[in-house]
Amino acid sequence: MGQQRRRKWADIPAGQDSPLNAALTRRDDSVIEMVEAAVRHGEVMLAFQPVVAAGHTGRTAFHEGLIRVLDSTGRIIPARDFIDSVENLETGRVIDCLALEKGLRTLADHPGLRLSVNMSARSIGYARWMRILRRGLDADPTVGERLILEITESSAMLVPELVTGFMKDLQRRGICFALDDFGAGNTSFRYLRDFYFDILKIDGQFIRGIAADPDNQVLTGALMAIARQFDMLCVAESVERADDAAHLTNAGIDCMQGYYFAAPTVNPDWMSDSARRIRA
């Protein structure tokens, strides 16, 4: 049976017209259409998830604003379900613009909030994105020091020289930068030394189940050592269990983020409290 299955898959053409590639193309086209429709109709929002201080999990270091879209049925679709399909397209740049715009508006509305917003390195040269950022910084002088821009490791390595110059310019305005999903890509350590990221976020593949995984304990320890060497705040992503949180705290992680502490929500308590104060 196993040999028959292998022959069956071996008989599928590897070229562009294979049934597998056709199915993947149809799926990607459907996802792109869904995102484009959401953008046209303004069905785009941020979901907020806290990043908590290790050992003081009642204290939130900052929140991450995660982009979400609504599909035609009204379901909230997380970025992981569409971002790969639109990353290289104009739609990806528009999504980055909307995320930044909504993040800046949230910061302006909540003066005590510190917020991270995701972006692709591809948006650095996108004129609309830069206009939104400059307008937000000029409108509220406190926004820069409360804004964190998260760039994935894989995205940063596409144009490392451009990223380093971009970061240096904006760090002068008080903006912090986080290297997201660290360990999932192929960072050149020469560039890591030059980047001067403020925050390093360890990819969840090393964190989930870490309390019972000696290999991931060693790998995460090495990534934490890199963060310390380059004076970066170190955040563990995808913390989902109490034993994993306890292990990471004992290992000396700075902050943690994940479903164990809170799921992302489009209606966080602090936003509702603010609305109540305004009505009062």
pLDDT for residue 272: 73
* Mean pLDDT of the 206-218 span: 98
Strands (E), the chain: 44-53, 56-70, 76-78, 115-119, 147-152, 176-182, 199-202, 233-236, 255-256
Question: What's the domain count of the chain?
Answer: 1
Query: Cα separation of 234 and 248, whole Å?
Result: 11
On whether residue 81 sits in a domain, the answer given is yes
pLDDT tens, position by position, 104-132: 999 999 999 999 999 999 999 999 999 99
pLDDT at 136 over 60: yes
pLDDT at 234 over 50: yes
pLDDT for residue 29: 83
Query: Cα separation of 110 and 114, whole Å?
Result: 9
pLDDT tens, position by position, 21-71: 655 566 678 999 999 999 999 999 999 999 999 999 899 999 999 999 999
On whether residue 12 sits in a domain, the answer given is no
pLDDT for residue 108: 96
On whether residue 1 sits in a domain, the answer given is no
Q: 56: which residues sit within 8 A by CB, 6+ positions away?
A: none
On whether residue 174 sits in a domain, the answer given is yes
On whether residue 33 sits in a domain, the answer given is no
pLDDT at 74 over 90: yes
* Mean pLDDT of the 147-154 span: 93
- Sign of torsion over alpha carbons 65, 228, 192, 166: positive
On whether residue 149 sits in a domain, the answer given is yes
Label residue 157 by pLDDT band (50, 70, 90).
confident
Task: Round the average pLDDT of the chain to a whole number and report it.
Answer: 89
Strands (E), 54-141: 56-70, 76-78, 115-119
pLDDT at 259 over 60: yes
pLDDT at 270 over 80: yes
Residue 196 maps to which CATH number?
3.20.20.450
On whether residue 230 sits in a domain, the answer given is yes
pLDDT for residue 27: 66
CB atoms near residue 165 (< 10 Å): 12
Query: Cα separation of 231 and 197, whole Å?
Result: 9
On whether residue 35 sits in a domain, the answer given is no
pLDDT at 273 over 80: no
Label residue 195 by pLDDT band (50, 70, 90).
confident
Query: Cα separation of 267 and 277, whole Å?
Result: 16
Helix, strand or coil for residue 105?
helix
By mean pLDDT, which of 96-105, 118-127, 158-167, 216-225 is the weakest? 158-167
Residues 62, 115: contact at Cβ < 8 Å?
yes
* Mean pLDDT of the 64-86 span: 94
Which residue range forms the structural domain that includes residue 66?
A: 45-279
- Using alpha carbons, select from 79, 100, 66, 98 the residue that is nearest to residue 34: 79
